[in-house]
Chains A and B, each alone.
Chain A
Amino acid sequence: GDSVTQMEGPVTLSEEAFLTINCTYTATGYPSLFWYVQYPGEGLQLLLKATKADDKGSNKGFEATYRKETTSFHLEKGSVQVSDSAVYFCALSDAAGSGNTGKLIFGQGTTLQVKP
């Protein structure tokens, strides 16, 4: 079945460092891809998404490009801040079409710690 694999954490960076969190997926169709973020004590929030190959999702300085050839959707940010400390989840949803339920399949999450 469909699945998502993320790099293991925690990832610890100094403020203003470059961030990459790797995410690869396995899917039989053409899924949409997402990054969600969970700040301490808060609920899951959608960070960005991409719905087809070569799309780039971006938000709050974060970017991820849907790479069909490598089945990847790596999250990047050029300069992290302490306030970016959170758990990041990569996810996919089932392919578009009449059977699309919109349910999400998540990776296991990657904890990011940014130190001042």
Chain B
Amino acid sequence: GAGVSQTPSNKVTEKGKYVELRCDPISGHTALYWYRQSLGQGPEFLIYFQGTGAADDSGLPNDRFFAVRPEGSVSTLKIQRTERGDSAVYLCASSSALERVMGYFGPGTRLTVL
């Protein structure tokens, strides 16, 4: 497709479980970002990839959160031992080298931890 896609669109899990959220960026975009949006709040930065490497992971809240982008395209956000406070919409965005700060956002994955 032409835009950023994210799967699944919704994920319900139980406290303590492990989840993976996937992001497919726009083809050719080298920069990829993950954000978390809690209800009634603006998105908060989690991690930024330039190619395959995490150039800035300062927004990851703790070591339960991890993200990879092994081939420089698709990225997976992994959350271990989920907690109820992890419930949020997780957004992915991608950008080309020329328009790095603009960002094209995906529709998000709504994670609910029961």
> What is A's interface to B at a CB cutoff of 8 Å?
4, 32, 36, 42-46, 49, 89, 91, 93, 100-109
Residue of A nearest to B31 (CB): A102
Question: B57 to nearest A CB, angstroms?
Answer: 11
Q: How far is the CA of A43 from the CA of B102 in the complex (A)?
A: 14
Closest 8 CB pairs of A and B: A106-B42, A102-B100, A44-B105, A102-B101, A93-B101, A43-B107, A103-B45, A43-B105
Q: A103-B56, A105-B45 are in contact. List 10 more A-B contacts (CB 8 A).
A: A4-B42, A32-B101, A44-B43, A44-B105, A49-B102, A89-B42, A102-B95, A103-B33, A103-B48, A104-B103
Q: How far is the CA of A103 from the CA of B102 in the complex (A)?
A: 9
The answer to whether A104 touches B45, judged by C-beta atoms less than 8 angstroms apart, is: yes
Residue of A nearest to B44 (CB): A106
Q: Mark B26-46, 1 if CB is under 8 A from A, else 0.
A: 000001010100001111110
Q: How far is the CA of A104 from the CA of B4 in the complex (A)?
A: 17
> What is B's interface to A at a CB cutoff of 8 Å?
4, 31, 33, 35, 40-45, 48, 50, 55-56, 59, 91, 93, 95, 100-103, 105-108
Q: Write 8 A-B pairs (CB below 8 A) sorted by A numbering.
A: A4-B42, A44-B91, A89-B42, A102-B103, A104-B33, A106-B44, A107-B42, A109-B42
Question: B105 to nearest A CB, angstroms?
Answer: 4
Question: A79 to nearest B CB, angstroms?
Answer: 26
Q: How far is the CA of A106 from the CA of B43 in the complex (A)?
A: 6
Q: How far is the CA of A93 from the CA of B43 in the complex (A)?
A: 13
Residue of B nearest to A46 (CB): B102
Question: A21 to nearest B CB, angstroms?
Answer: 13
Interfacial chain A residues near B50, Cβ < 8 Å: 101
Q: How far is the CA of A4 from the CA of B45 in the complex (A)?
A: 13
Question: B63 to nearest A CB, angstroms?
Answer: 20
Question: B110 to nearest A CB, angstroms?
Answer: 12
The answer to whether B91 touches A43, judged by C-beta atoms less than 8 angstroms apart, is: yes
Interfacial chain A residues near B35, Cβ < 8 Å: 104
**Contact A108 B101, CB 8 Å, known A42-B107, A101-B48, A101-B56:** no
Question: B22 to nearest A CB, angstroms?
Answer: 15
Interfacial chain A residues near B43, Cβ < 8 Å: 44, 89, 104, 106
